[in-house]
Chain A
Amino acid sequence: MSRNLTKSLRDWIAETLPMENLLPDSLPTYVDSYVYLFGILTVAALVWLIFTGTILAIFGPDWWHVSAVGHFFNSMHFWSVQAFFFFMVLHLWAQFMMAAWRGGRHWTWIGGWLLFLVSIVAGLTGYLSQNNFDAQWIGVQGKDAINATGVGGFFDLLNFGQMYGLHIFVLPMLIIILLAVHLMLVRMHGVVEPLDDDKGAENDES
Chain B
Amino acid sequence: MSRKWTNTNSQYPQMPYDLIKEMLVALGIMGVLVLLLAGIFSTPDVPALTAKQVAQQAPQLLLQNALDDLSGQDAISTYGPPYNNTPGASQSLAGISPEQWAGVQIPIKSAQVNVIGPLTKIEPVNPSLKAPLTTWQRATSSQQNAWVQHVESALSKAKIVGNALVLPAQTPGDYGPLPAMLNAYLSLARTGLLEDAIDGGTGPMPVIDRTKSLLLLQDVPDAAYAAKLDMAGNEWGIIKETGNYPGAVWLWFYTLLYQIPPFSTSASADLWVVLTTGGVTVILMLTPFIPGLRSIPRLVGIHKLIWRRYYRDQRKRRGVRA
Contact between chains at A154 and B34 (CB < 8 Å): no
**B2-34 interface code vs A (CB 8 A; 1 in, 0 out):** 001111111011111111101100110111011
Contact B30 A45 (CB under 8 A): yes
- Taking a contact as CB atoms closer than 8 A, the residue among B42, B211, B302 that contacts A97 in the complex is B302
**Residues in B neighbouring A104, C-beta threshold 8 A:** 4-5
- Chain A residues 160-206 with CB under 8 Å of chain B are 160-162, 164, 188-191, 193-195, 197, 202, 204-206
A-B contact count (CB 8 A): 293
In the complex, are the beta carbons of B48 and A32 less than 8 A apart?
no
Name A92's closest neighbour in chain B (CB-CB): B284
* Residues on the A chain within 8 Å of B157, using CB: none
A140, A148, A205 — most chain B CB neighbours (10 Å): A148
What is the size, in residues, of chain A's interface with B at 8 Å between Cβ atoms? Answer: 100
Q: How far is the CB of A178 from chain B (nearest CB, A)?
A: 13
- Chain B minimum-CB-distance residue to A124: B239
Residue A118, interface by CB 8 Å? no
Nearest residue, chain A, Cβ from B300: A97
Task: Specify which of B14, B47, B105, B233 is in contact with A154 (CB 8 Å cutoff).
Answer: B105
Cross-interface CB contact of B222 among A35, A137, A159, A194, cutoff 8 Å: A137
**Nearest B residue to A64, CB-CB:** B45
| B310 engages A159 (CB within 8 Å) | no
Partner of A132, one of B26, B45, B101, B306: B45
A80/B34 in contact, CB under 8 A: yes
Return chain B residues, CB-CB under 8 Å to A72.
Answer: 38-39, 42
CA A86 – CA B297 in complex, angstroms?
21
Q: A44-B26, A83-B34, A123-B248 are in contact. Are A99 and B297 (CB under 8 A)?
A: yes
Query: Does residue A145 face the partner (Cβ distance < 8 Å to B)?
Result: yes
| Chain A 75-92 interface mask (CB, 8 Å, partner B; 1/0) | 110111011010011000
B97 closest partner in A (C-beta): A150
Please name all residues of chain B whose beta carbon is closer than 8 Å to the beta carbon of A82 when the two chains form the complex. Answer: 37, 246
Mark the stretch among B57-65, B124-132, B268-276 that contacts chain A. Answer: B268-276
Q: Does A55 contact B (CB under 8 A)?
A: no
CA of A119 to CA of B12, assembled, Å: 35
Cα A23 to Cα B39 in complex, Å, equals 35
- Contact (Cβ within 8 A) B300 A136: no
> Are B48 and A133 in contact, CB atoms less than 8 angstroms apart?
yes
B46 within 8 A of A: yes
The residue in chain A whose Cβ has the minimal distance to the Cβ of B249 is A85
CB distance from A175 to the nearest CB of B (A): 14
Contact across chains for B287 and A96 when beta carbons are under 8 A apart: yes
Complex Cα gap A28–B11 (Å) = 8
Cβ of B94 to closest chain A Cβ, rounded Å: 14
Hey, what's the 0/1 contact readout for A37-80 against B, CB within 8 Å counting as 1? Answer: 10011011101100010000000000011000001101110111
Q: CB-CB < 8 A to B10: which residues of A?
A: 190
User: Which 10 pairs show the lowest CB-CB distances between chains A and B?
Assistant: A153-B105, A150-B98, A104-B5, A161-B208, A190-B9, A206-B288, A148-B270, A75-B38, A28-B12, A150-B102
